[in-house]
Chain A
Amino acid sequence: MKITPLIGLEVHLELETKSKMFCGCPADHFGKKPNTQTCPVCLGLPGALPVPNKKAIESCLQIGLALQCSINTISKFDRKQYFYPDLAKGYQISQYDEPFCSDGFLFLDSGKKIGIERVHLEEDTGKLQHKTLNGQKVTLVDYNRGGVPLVEIVSRPDLSSSAEAKEFLKKIHEIIRALGVSSVDLEKGQMRLEPTVNLCLENEIGSHYTPLVEIKNINSFNFASQAIEFEITRQAEEFSQTGIEKSSTNKTTRGYDAVKKNTFLQRSKEEAKDYRYFPEPDIPPFIIDAGYVEKLRQKLPLLPDQEIANLEKLGIDKKDAKILVSSNNQVALQTIKDYSTNSIVDIQKLASLIVNGKISIPVIASDSAAIQKSIISQYCDLTKIGTTDRGELEKVVREVLATHPGLVAEYQGGKASLAGFFVGQAMKATRGTADPQTLASLVADLLS
């Protein structure tokens, strides 16, 4: 029997906007004193109304564009209704049938195309804290997080292994970081993962599909991968025992226990939720102008895959390029780009030295010029450009002379004082790392 896992991913991302999704409270809630960043709107007080945050919508559209989605001309918010104490209004403002972005895709390194069903915007819930106070077990609610903008990315079930799922998640993570809309810190809950898994089992009779399982709220790529692995095995076993196939009513929800490394049932079909979605009457629908979308598209930063391709074009190994891009060290990337046309720096070597940690990149210095100087000086030390390497320096001097044919002619015509100028230029090209005497003798030799 051939088993093909069918894995889809739902990813929730908290946006780092200044204010919350529907009110003016600060969105930055991490580590803040409970319930100090609330107002009538995010507390769901009677009479309070939501006003959408334009910046958050823009960020959602940018994410959609980065994931090659089409941006829907007409979009709206809906109410998703369920009861939970962390949900102040008794409903979450989300998007149901008209999300901002739909039908995108993302390529894995293997070239496999993973479909993105939709990218939509919603609001985060409050946070429950289960505590013992004065010997009594209590649950406290902190609404600081309530109403923080949350983007949901839903993939199609095109992933067929835990490794593919992990790669997909990493790529999403890098894209969001490159867009600068969130630092997607998993430990702070800024990125939450929910894989949906089932299996296609093929034998001589035909294909069978196991019931869908959604695994809730995972906050690490490794846990997501482990949970998927566990589910693949569990579902295959379960099917061999029960033979139960997927139906429209037997989707279940499971949690992941990181300690036991297994998944456990949270909600079965009997408890399936009916969210009673309907259009949010407090927020008029959006008509999204094509010109506005085009402007956003043009403003998109270089995305990780494009950046890797660009580095490869400069001659850097793909492996190194990927590590460089994923490390997200902007100064290192800029330095490589700046020196890509410099004749004395071998940027393939420079990239490899950075990737292998041979060149340490100062993190404290805020001046990127100083960091760049340090990178180059380390490179020169490591590659022994400078005092003794006459061969390397000769290249530099030749280039200096080649760029100043007029002055060379003057020197040869008798203006010997120009030797100092040539040495100075060569010194500049090596960022002051060359031995001046070696340079002077090279200038004299090459012009004699």
Chain B
Amino acid sequence: MKPLHELTIQEVHEGYRNHTFTCVQLVQHFLDRIKKYNPRLNIYLALNEHALEQAAAVDREIVEKGIDRELLGIPLAIKDNFLTTGLTTTASSYILKGFMPQYDSTVTEKLLAAGAIFLGKTNMDSFAHGSSTETSDFGPTLNPWNPKHLPGGSSGGSAAAIAAQLATAALGSETAGSIRQPAAWVGITGFKPTYGRSSRYGVIAMASSTDSPGPLARTVADAALITQVIAGQDAKDATTSPLPVENYLGSLNKPDLQGLKIALVKEYLLPEMRSDVKELILAAADKLRSLGATVEEISLMDPQYAIGVYTVVQRSEVSSNLSRFDGIRFGHDRSAFGQETKRRIMLGTYTLSAGYYDAFYKKAQAVRTKIIEEFAEVFKTYDAVIGAVSPGPALPIGATKDQPMFGEMEDILVEASSIAGLTSAGIPCGFVDGLPIGLQITCDQFQEEKALMIADCYQQNTSFNLFPDLDQTL
């Protein structure tokens, strides 16, 4: 039998059904691993002290009723920007150090209602301001494949928790690359639902107009199951869509991709991109072709424009969203804000100032509309757009130092799809220098089913979905 930490959600449920192991054993197994590896990797910021009690309750429920909840007894790692009663929630910022939420976020509430057990809260870039987890006020998380490297971010802790096998699955959130990029850097599956598909209520806001909660998981199937649970309209989030949620699991396990048209964006094979990374993406395109899809090269707006738009819109929203941390409440004054946070507040305050608003924010929104229209045009012909998630593999620790635009440069290939509110899967497609590389499969808004279907088919027909042996890598 496979070790417990290597099991997918489905395999855990099989184990419960066959009484191969109990939920208490599984949770204890993860707690033991966390105790062993977390001090080095710095993935968990807070652990759920009641996890074992909750696991015992799950075991009783299984005896009494069997498994009739989608995530019953599934140990999850939760990014620290989701409000969870009973578990401190800091968004990895000193200003919220020790903050105990008064209510639960809608998506974590849904996960709990589906029977999940939260192992703890995971490290992230402070207030999600970054793509490295290095801007966390509680120190960086290390990449489980090579601790000299970053895990990416901002959901770096949740991504590393899956790569290091310190949870069965994890919850993250993406504003622009914050799920897909760390998933790519640690070689796991990440899925960003369409903006408005999963509720933002109770998620410490970063950029309100792009934040999307989504899963980080061992497989596309696991990601699909978690998305199924968290998706849907929320009366507490006016930006969630009333569209019915499709059956994501039902779309999986397709034998081929016959009849699908996929676009490979020329501009996303950046001139400065390493040739071995480019080759992996072209190989992935060939793989999709061999599975029956038509893959054609297309041209899109230079991704650098998306960076400009995203930087202005995101900083503006950040400067506003963080104004509630006014030093009067929540216990800490504003000097507790980290450098990157202060930098973003200042830039955002500037771009919204009288006289600059038209030049920056309004212009950025106009370009954003162009990007949205451009994608809409592409999706008239193509089912999906593919490309690399990141220009290269995980960068070394310290790479963000004196690089205020670090995140944006690393997220150049995911920002356009984020500001257009699209859905996108990030899955491993190979390795360079012993570090994983991620492929993104992006579909039109509310086409989660299709993106998951393609990603699942690719994943089941490739063998890049590997996990590091921590005793070797650390």
Contacts and interface: CB of A to CB of B under 8 A. Distances in A.
Contact of A282 (B89, B99, B235, B238): B238
Contacts of A85: 326, 328
Given A46-B96, A47-B204, A49-B200, A278 B324 contact: no
Contact of A276 (B83, B326, B352): B352
Given A46-B83, A81-B323, A89-B323, A40 B103 contact: yes
B168 interface: no
B48 interface: no
Q: Is the interface of B mostly helix, strand, loop or mixed?
A: loop
A88 interface: yes
A51 B357 contact: no
B399 to A, nearest CB: 29
A276 B321 CA distance: 13
B367 to A, nearest CB: 16
Interface in A67-114: 79, 81, 83, 85, 88-91
Interface in B336-350: 349
Contacts of A277: 352, 357
A46 B324 contact: yes
Interface residues of B, number: 41
A240 B324 CA distance: 46
B83 A47 contact: yes
Given A47-B201, A49-B200, A79 B102 contact: no
Contacts of B238: 49-52, 282-284
A47 B361 contact: no
B316 interface: yes
Contact of B320 (A47, A48, A81, A274): A81
A427 to B, nearest CB: 61
Given A47-B205, A81-B320, A90-B324, A282 B102 contact: no
Contact of B204 (A46, A88, A89): A46
B237 to A, nearest CB: 5
Contacts of A278: 316, 320, 352, 357, 361
B204 to A, nearest CB: 5
Contact of A49 (B89, B236, B323, B354): B236
B465 interface: no
Contact of B102 (A44, A45, A281): A45
A83 B323 contact: yes
A277 to B, nearest CB: 7
Interface string A43-62: 01111111110000000000
A284 B233 CA distance: 14
Contacts of B96: 46
A48 B104 CA distance: 10
Contacts of A284: 238-239
Contacts of B319: 276
Nearest to B355: A274
Given A52-B238, A79-B320, A278-B352, 15 more contacts: A40-B202, A45-B102, A47-B82, A47-B83, A47-B201, A49-B200, A49-B238, A89-B323, A89-B324, A90-B323, A276-B357, A277-B352, A281-B208, A282-B200, A282-B239
25 contacts: A40-B102, A40-B103, A44-B324, A46-B83, A46-B205, A48-B202, A49-B236, A49-B237, A51-B235, A51-B236, A81-B320, A81-B352, A83-B323, A88-B324, A90-B326, A91-B320, A276-B319, A276-B320, A276-B349, A276-B352, A276-B353, A276-B354, A278-B320, A282-B238, A283-B239
Interface of A: 40, 44-52, 79, 81, 83, 85, 88-91, 274, 276-278, 281-284
